[in-house]
């Protein structure tokens, strides 16, 4: 099946107007030595056949299991209005709003997205969006290097392992250094950023620090002493880059409140489906003085020549199509449609609804903690958490695999995601949100209890 | 006052009234947050808008109507491949089996998606003539970064530490030099030859032991196939450098030219262009990268592997130490890749070959029909797009490309890409794609013909265009001088929860 509108007569008319005999003549510039032999691909399919194939593939995934997975991607209720509005093809079949006169829909939605995220993060400037939380975090770290003209960042081990690895990849090209801040190994602060180690790293002679990157809640679900980390970073002349989860910001202290200079995170929890990892939404925000260092598109309010309020991409001198090799990043696209989804979601939930999502997730997580502890899987750490935490389970990977067979995805075996931390070898990272039910918690706890009793 | 002004509406924030909205999720118990230390909590709730669902719906539907889109009209935006986005692809990506799958789902419960992604990798490798493909990059620019970081890893793995330069032609996309900088290389810009192609002699002169790679867009950004490609690639490899192909223009060459077969070592593919995943107002896209044998060990992790028993799995952490590592979280923009897979399966080999033929046919047809309307600097047959220029018209009337672009809006068309490539004066880069009917192409020619006549008869009409759009030309200088990047007058949501 193709989507071509051309009949044989149309094609003949076009060839005649061009003045060639056959389509092949239009490809004469391809040197004969370079012409390919043709494509070896599966045969074309009608829409009916393709529909059946896609349905079968989708059905091979098991999305009916009871799941306690989080770890950077979160299952939430998505109001129907979100997807219905995303299906307006005036939004999804438009390109980047380079012609503002006929792109005010996209431009205003991005401006509103920036405003909503500024409110959630407590910061002034929000980019039109980045690819995902990992790349936004890497860009935030690079920003701190540009702004301070320093070449070394400190990244907390509590930052998502994928984000840390992405940051290392992004730093892999140049002279920049990313050192990791260890986590406290025991006691009441176990699992959170080791403050004494942070002080040592900030003072050591490996080079002055451009930015300190710490996540709250951390990958392990723990709440970090963000204000104190910020104070230490600033005392050393470094910027403080906070990695955030946006739903939590309805209730948790904001980057603005604890004096972060830059915030990064993934907007997936705001109405974006899990979709096996993407497309998601990279949130990147900063304080106003850093506005010319932030990479990616920005939309500003202005007026047209008749004085009507209007929106336009602005401060474009930072971008690759203008600055080329001197641009602040090579980023070109943003995730406009995902930013739109997040904005619609926030509009549908409202301030009270978003708080309810965060608080109900916290309540369900408390229930989960108690149920799992009673089943023999206590928390691994003692510090406060919001809705995600690690539990100690002997032979976690094997237990996890058996529970999957029984229809339960018992969170994430941490040994699989963070194999370089022996303290996490026998642990599962579990998460509850507002869609987690008491029945699911009871089923999980009972099954886990049976496994542990084997 | 034009008729257009009335179409603008208030912002979401101006629509807010305390007490509106709600009812989407149950309320939590009152003490839900009691176990969290007060110092960890937000001092006051976020000032988010409070709107009812009917108002929310009207807000976004009205905003959507201010947009021009492929589904509303012809969008001949050169280099962007604004083709029709099939509806089955939207349907497929929303199937619960795909959309509700968690990225940390164990391999055993993710076999459908893993199979789809693995098959998509095979198809893209076949189309590009590459050994293997990674689907991880989130966009074309990220694909470029992935490719160039692999080039760096390749040279370093051979102990070749002196290669610090990436050569790009001056007609390249801005992402190419920006990528080279981001990957720690120095960009060397090579002027184009007078015929619009790469200047092989100039490249030869610049190639040497410091060259890590060249980055070439083929077909080029002026819409021409690089006729001297063989010589260029030979020279690159002779110098010990690698050849990167920017695959932005793949829509022209499917079934006729495979970059990998021809000697390119690495390329990215913009699935939001060639494979018709929607542009979404600026994203999300996806930028898979294909590599030849040399770069195979360095592909980002995790790769998708097929076991001898036919089951699929992701590489585990640290399984392949030569990898450059991750370039993002999880495995990729899977929702976008489902659409690309559906597109490729619908077309098959014959359909994709026809897509390229029709795209090239339409571009040459428009070029032929416009050759007595605007300057057409390069007379050779073009690929899927071509450059026109308003240089002569500007000399005669003072009307610039920008004015033509804005006036096209009044005629109901999205303007082509303008002032790109930088190497052609008053450039319009026109890409009709294969999904536009001959009637649409003819109407576009007619509109440009009328605009050129207006340029002579009533130039002020063009200087002040557009006249029929929701807003007219914008004050971009003030927007940049005094940036207003967020709404800050939000009030009303500090009231207690209404129910």
Interface with chain A: mutation pick from B85, B248, B340, B486, highest number of A CBs within 10 Å: B486
Which pLDDT value is given to residue B352?
98
Q: Do B411 and B478 sit in the same domain of this protein? A: no
Give, rounded to a whole angstrom, the gap between the first and last alpha carbons of chain A.
55
Give the pLDDT mean for B154-169. 96
Kindly tell me if the per-residue pLDDT of B494 is higher than 90. no
Chain B, residues 326-355, CB within 8 A of chain A, namely 326-336, 338, 342, 344-355
B243 - beta bridge partners? Answer: B214
Contact B46 A120 (CB under 8 A): yes
Count CA within 13 A, CB hemisphere, residue A26: 33
Count CA within 13 A, CB hemisphere, residue B404: 33
Helices (H) and strands (E) counted in chain B, each on its own, are 14, 12
Interface with chain A: mutation pick from B263, B275, B283, B317, highest number of A CBs within 10 Å: B283
Kindly tell me if the per-residue pLDDT of B1 is higher than 50. no
Contact B46 A58 (CB under 8 A): no
Res. B3 pLDDT band, cuts 50 70 90: very low
Q: Where are the domains of chain A?
A: 66-77+350-453, 82-344
Kindly tell me if the per-residue pLDDT of B4 is higher than 60. no
- Quote the minimal CA–CA distance from B55 to chain A in Å: 10
- Residue with the bigger pLDDT between B493 and B470: it is B470
Which pLDDT value is given to residue B499?
55
Q: Do B393 and B447 sit in the same domain of this protein? A: yes
Interface with chain B: mutation pick from A113, A325, A417, A428, highest number of B CBs within 10 Å: A325
Give domain status of residue B193, yes or no. yes
Interface with chain B: mutation pick from A1, A3, A38, A345, highest number of B CBs within 10 Å: A3
A215 - beta bridge partners? Answer: A243
Contact A58 B96 (CB under 8 A): yes
Q: Is B139 on the interface with A (CB under 8 A)?
A: yes
Kindly tell me if the per-residue pLDDT of B65 is higher than 90. yes
List the one residue out of B424, B483, B411, B496 whose CA is nearest residue B452. Answer: B411
**Spatial distance between the Cα atoms of A246 and B8, rounded to a whole number of angstroms:** 30
Assess contact for A218 and A242: CB atoms under 8 A. no
Q: Is A398 on the interface with B (CB under 8 A)?
A: no
Instruction: Kindly state the tokens that stand for B338.
Output: 């489902």
Q: Is B28 on the interface with A (CB under 8 A)?
A: yes
Chain A, residues 23-52, CB within 8 A of chain B, namely 23, 25-31, 33-36, 38-45, 47, 50-51
Give domain status of residue B73, yes or no. no
Whichever domain contains B416, its CATH number is 3.90.1150.10
Assess contact for B291 and B132: CB atoms under 8 A. yes
Going by DSSP bridges, is the β-strand pair B386-389/B427-430 parallel, antiparallel, or unpaired?
antiparallel
Largest CA distance in chain A: 82
B198 - beta bridge partners? Answer: B192
Low-confidence ranges of chain A (pLDDT < 50): none
Interface with chain B: mutation pick from A45, A279, A345, A353, highest number of B CBs within 10 Å: A279
Place of tokens 């693995």: B118
- Cβ-based neighbour number of residue B147 at 10 Å: 32
Which pLDDT value is given to residue B177?
93
Helix axes B175-182 and B140-157, enclosed angle (nearest 10): 40
CA dihedral A357, A359, A361, A363 (to 10 degrees): -150
Give domain status of residue B74, yes or no. no
Residues 6+ apart with CB under 8 A from B192: B169, B170, B171, B198, B199, B423
Q: Do B238 and B277 sit in the same domain of this protein? A: yes
- Considering only CB atoms, B45 lies closest to which of A110, A250, A323, namely A250
Q: Do B257 and B297 sit in the same domain of this protein? A: yes
- Cβ-based neighbour number of residue B368 at 10 Å: 21
Q: What are the residue ranges of helices labelled H in B83-197? A: 87-93, 96-99, 111-128, 140-157, 175-182
- Quote the minimal CA–CA distance from A258 to chain B in Å: 10
Instruction: Kindly state the tokens that stand for A300.
Output: 């500003």
- Burial label, A60 (beta-carbon count in 10 A; 0-12, 13-18, 19+): middle
User: According to the CATH classification, is domain A66-77+350-453 in 3.90.1150.10?
Assistant: yes
Number of domains in chain B: 3
DSSP 8-state secondary structure symbol assigned to residue B381:
P
- Dihedral sign of CA atoms A255, A256, A262, A267 in order: positive
Instruction: Kindly state the tokens that stand for B196.
Output: 């619009």
CA dihedral B386, B391, B393, B396 (to 10 degrees): -160
- Cβ-based neighbour number of residue B380 at 10 Å: 17
Structure ipTM:
0.97
**Spatial distance between the Cα atoms of A109 and B450, rounded to a whole number of angstroms:** 34
Give domain status of residue B408, yes or no. yes
Q: Do B32 and B156 sit in the same domain of this protein? A: no
Q: Do B482 and B408 sit in the same domain of this protein? A: no
In A407-452 the beta strands, taken as DSSP E runs, fall at 408-409, 412-413, 427-431
| Angle made by CA atoms B230, B236, B242, in degrees to the nearest 5 | 110
Q: Do B449 and B478 sit in the same domain of this protein? A: no
Place of tokens 């010990």: B240
Question: Searching chain B, which residue's CA lies closest to the CA of residue A252?
Answer: B41
Contact B353 A340 (CB under 8 A): no
Which pLDDT value is given to residue B497?
59
Contact A61 B111 (CB under 8 A): yes
- Considering only CB atoms, A338 lies closest to which of B108, B284, B357, namely B284
Count CA within 13 A, CB hemisphere, residue A140: 42
Least confident of B88-102, B186-200, B353-367, B439-453: B186-200
**Spatial distance between the Cα atoms of B352 and B344, rounded to a whole number of angstroms:** 7
Q: Do B192 and B295 sit in the same domain of this protein? A: yes
CB contacts < 8 A, A to B, total 707
Contacts A409 to B, Cβ<8 Å: 102, 105-106, 109
Which pLDDT value is given to residue B2?
40
Contact B335 A67 (CB under 8 A): no
Give the pLDDT mean for B98-103. 98
- Dihedral sign of CA atoms B258, B259, B262, B266 in order: negative
Tell me the three state secondary structure of residue B174. Answer: coil
Contact A353 B21 (CB under 8 A): yes
Residues 6+ apart with CB under 8 A from A67: A75, A408, A409, B102, B105
- Quote the minimal CA–CA distance from A203 to chain B in Å: 27
Give domain status of residue B75, yes or no. no
List the one residue out of B339, B109, B138, B194 whose CA is nearest residue A169. Answer: B138
Q: If residue A161 lies in a helix (H) or strand (E), which one and from where to where?
A: helix A161-171
- Burial label, A80 (beta-carbon count in 10 A; 0-12, 13-18, 19+): exposed
Which pLDDT value is given to residue B496?
60
**Spatial distance between the Cα atoms of B161 and A245, rounded to a whole number of angstroms:** 40
Going by DSSP bridges, is the β-strand pair B211-217/B165-169 parallel, antiparallel, or unpaired?
parallel
Q: Is A16 on the interface with B (CB under 8 A)?
A: no
- Edge to edge, the sheet with strand B417-418 lists B386-389, B427-430, B417-418
Instruction: Kindly state the tokens that stand for B243.
Output: 């050849």
Contacts B330 to A, Cβ<8 Å: 72-73, 132, 162, 276-278
Q: If residue A126 lies in a helix (H) or strand (E), which one and from where to where?
A: strand A125-126
Tell me the three state secondary structure of residue B242. Answer: strand
Q: Do B297 and B374 sit in the same domain of this protein? A: no
Contact B105 A69 (CB under 8 A): yes
Question: Searching chain B, which residue's CA lies closest to the CA of residue A247?
Answer: B46
A431 - beta bridge partners? Answer: A388
Q: Is B442 on the interface with A (CB under 8 A)?
A: no
Q: Do B177 and B207 sit in the same domain of this protein? A: yes
Q: Do B93 and B144 sit in the same domain of this protein? A: yes
Instruction: Kindly state the tokens that stand for B267.
Output: 């390329």
- Cβ-based neighbour number of residue B493 at 10 Å: 23
- Cβ-based neighbour number of residue A281 at 10 Å: 33
- Quote the minimal CA–CA distance from A453 to chain B in Å: 24
Helix axes B334-370 and A8-18, enclosed angle (nearest 10): 50
Interface with chain A: mutation pick from B67, B109, B149, highest number of A CBs within 10 Å: B67
Assess contact for A136 and A266: CB atoms under 8 A. yes
Which pLDDT value is given to residue B492?
46
Give the pLDDT mean for B194-198. 85
Contact B12 A10 (CB under 8 A): no
Q: Is B66 on the interface with A (CB under 8 A)?
A: yes
- Quote the minimal CA–CA distance from A432 to chain B in Å: 13
Q: Do B363 and B337 sit in the same domain of this protein? A: no
Instruction: Kindly state the tokens that stand for B273.
Output: 């262009």
Kindly tell me if the per-residue pLDDT of B26 is higher than 50. yes
Assess contact for B139 and B286: CB atoms under 8 A. yes
Question: Which residue range(s) make up the domain with B464?
Answer: 356-470
B313 - beta bridge partners? Answer: B305
**Spatial distance between the Cα atoms of A291 and A294, rounded to a whole number of angstroms:** 6
Q: Is B34 on the interface with A (CB under 8 A)?
A: no
Place of tokens 């409110």: A119
CATH number at A82-344:
3.40.640.10
Contact B174 A324 (CB under 8 A): yes
């Amino acid at each position: 099946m193709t989507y071509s509108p051309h009949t044989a007569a149309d094609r003949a008319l076009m060839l005649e107007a061009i003045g060639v005999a056959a389509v092949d003549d239009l490809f004469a510039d391809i040197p004969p030595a370079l012409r390919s032999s043709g494509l070896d691909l599966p045969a074309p399919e009608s829409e009916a056949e393709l529909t059946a194939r896609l349905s079968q593939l989708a059905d091979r995934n098991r999305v009916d299991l009871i799941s306690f997975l989080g770890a950077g991607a979160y299952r939430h209720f998505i109001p129907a209005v979100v997807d219905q509005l995303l299906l307006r093809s005036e939004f999804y079949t438009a390109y980047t709003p380079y012609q503002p006169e006929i792109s005010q829909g996209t431009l205003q939605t991005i401006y509103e997205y920036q405003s909503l995220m500024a409110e959630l993060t407590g910061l002034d400037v929000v980019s039109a969006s980045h690819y995902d939380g990992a790349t936004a975090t890497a860009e935030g770290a690079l920003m701190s290097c540009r702004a301070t003209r320093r070449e070394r960042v400190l990244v907390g081990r509590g930052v998502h392992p994928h984000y840390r690895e992405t940051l290392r990849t992004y730093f892999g090209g140049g002279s920049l250094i990313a050192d990791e801040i260890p986590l406290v190994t025991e006691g009441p602060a176990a699992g959170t950023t080791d403050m004494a180690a942070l002080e040592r790293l900030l003072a050591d002679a490996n080079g002055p620090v451009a930015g300190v990157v710490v996540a709250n809640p951390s990958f392990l679900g723990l709440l970090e002493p963000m204000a104190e980390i910020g104070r230490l970073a600033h005392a050393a002349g470094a910027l403080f880059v906070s990695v955030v989860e946006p739903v939590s910001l309805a209730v948790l202290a904001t980057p603005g409140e604890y004096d972060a200079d830059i915030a990064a995170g993934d907007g997936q929890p705001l109405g974006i489906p899990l979709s096996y990892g993407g497309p998601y939404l990279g949130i990147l925000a900063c304080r106003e003085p850093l506005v010319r260092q932030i990479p990616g598109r920005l939309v500003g309010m202005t007026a047209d020549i008749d004085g009507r309020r209007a929106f336009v991409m602005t401060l474009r001198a930072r971008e690759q199509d203008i600055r080329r090799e001197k641009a602040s990043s090579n980023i070109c696209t943003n995730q406009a449609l995902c930013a739109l989804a997040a904005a619609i979601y926030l509009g549908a939930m409202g301030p009270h609804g978003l708080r309810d999502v965060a608080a109900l997730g916290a309540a369900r997580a408390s229930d989960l903690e108690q149920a799992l502890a009673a089943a023999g899987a206590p928390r691994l750490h003692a510090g406060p958490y919001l809705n995600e935490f690690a539990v100690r389970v002997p032979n976690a990977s094997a237990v996890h695999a058996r529970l999957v067979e029984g229809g339960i995805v018992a969170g994430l075996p941490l040994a699989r995601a963070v194999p370089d931390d022996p303290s996490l070898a026998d642990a599962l990272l579990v998460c509850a949100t507002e869609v987690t039910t008491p029945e699911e918690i009871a089923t999980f706890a009972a099954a886990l209890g049976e496994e542990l009793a084997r | 006052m034009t008729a257009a002004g009335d179409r603008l509406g208030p912002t979401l924030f101006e629509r807010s009234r305390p007490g509106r909205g709600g009812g989407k999720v149950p309320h939590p118990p009152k003490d839900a947050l009691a176990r969290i230390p007060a110092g960890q909590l937000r001092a006051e709730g976020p000032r988010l808008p409070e709107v009812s669902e009917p108002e929310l719906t009207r807000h976004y539907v009205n905003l959507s109507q201010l947009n021009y889109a492929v589904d509303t009209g012809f969008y001949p935006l050169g280099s962007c491949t604004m083709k029709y986005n099939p509806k089955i692809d939207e349907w497929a990506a929303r199937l619960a089996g795909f959309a509700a799958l968690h990225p940390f789902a164990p391999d055993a419960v993710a076999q459908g998606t893993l199979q789809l992604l693995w098959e998509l990798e095979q198809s893209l490798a076949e189309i590009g003539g590459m050994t293997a493909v990674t689907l991880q990059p989130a966009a074309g620019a990220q694909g470029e970064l992935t490719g160039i970081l692999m080039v760096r890893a390749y040279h370093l793995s051979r102990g070749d530490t002196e290669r610090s330069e990436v050569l790009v032609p001056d007609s390249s996309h801005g992402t190419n030099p920006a990528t080279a900088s981001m990957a720690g290389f120095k960009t060397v810009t090579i002027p184009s030859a007078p015929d619009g192609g790469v200047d092989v002699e100039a490249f030869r002169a610049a190639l040497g032991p410091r060259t890590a790679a060249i980055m070439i867009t083929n077909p080029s950004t002026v819409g021409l196939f690089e006729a001297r490609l063989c010589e260029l690639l030979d020279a690159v490899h002779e110098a010990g450098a690698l050849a990167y192909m920017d695959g932005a223009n793949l829509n022209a060459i499917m079934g006729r030219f495979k970059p990998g077969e021809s000697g390119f070592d690495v390329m990215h593919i913009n699935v939001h262009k060639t494979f018709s995943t929607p542009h979404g107002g600026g994203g999300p896209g996806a930028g898979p990268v294909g590599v030849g044998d040399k770069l195979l060990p360095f592909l980002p992790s995790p790769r998708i592997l097929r076991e001898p028993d036919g089951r699929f799995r992701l590489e585990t952490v640290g399984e392949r130490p030569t990898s450059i590592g991750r370039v993002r979280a999880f495995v990729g923009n899977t929702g976008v890749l489902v659409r690309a897979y559906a597109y490729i399966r619908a077309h098959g080999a014959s359909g994709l070959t026809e897509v390229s033929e029709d795209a090239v046919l339409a571009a040459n047809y428009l070029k032929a029909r416009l050759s007595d309307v605007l300057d057409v600097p390069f007379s050779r047959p073009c690929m899927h797009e071509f450059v026109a220029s308003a240089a002569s018209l500007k000399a005669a009337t003072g009307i610039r490309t920008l004015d033509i672009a804005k006036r096209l809006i009044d005629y109901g068309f999205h303007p082509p890409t303008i002032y790109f490539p930088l190497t052609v004066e008053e450039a319009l880069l026109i890409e009709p794609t294969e999904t536009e009917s001959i009637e649409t192409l003819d109407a576009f020619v007619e509109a440009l013909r009328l605009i050129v006549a207006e340029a002579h008869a009533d130039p002020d009409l063009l200087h002040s265009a557009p006249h029929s759009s929701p807003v007219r030309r914008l004050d971009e200088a003030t927007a940049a001088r005094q940036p207003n990047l967020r709404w800050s007058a939000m009030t009303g949501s500090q009231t207690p929860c209404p129910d």
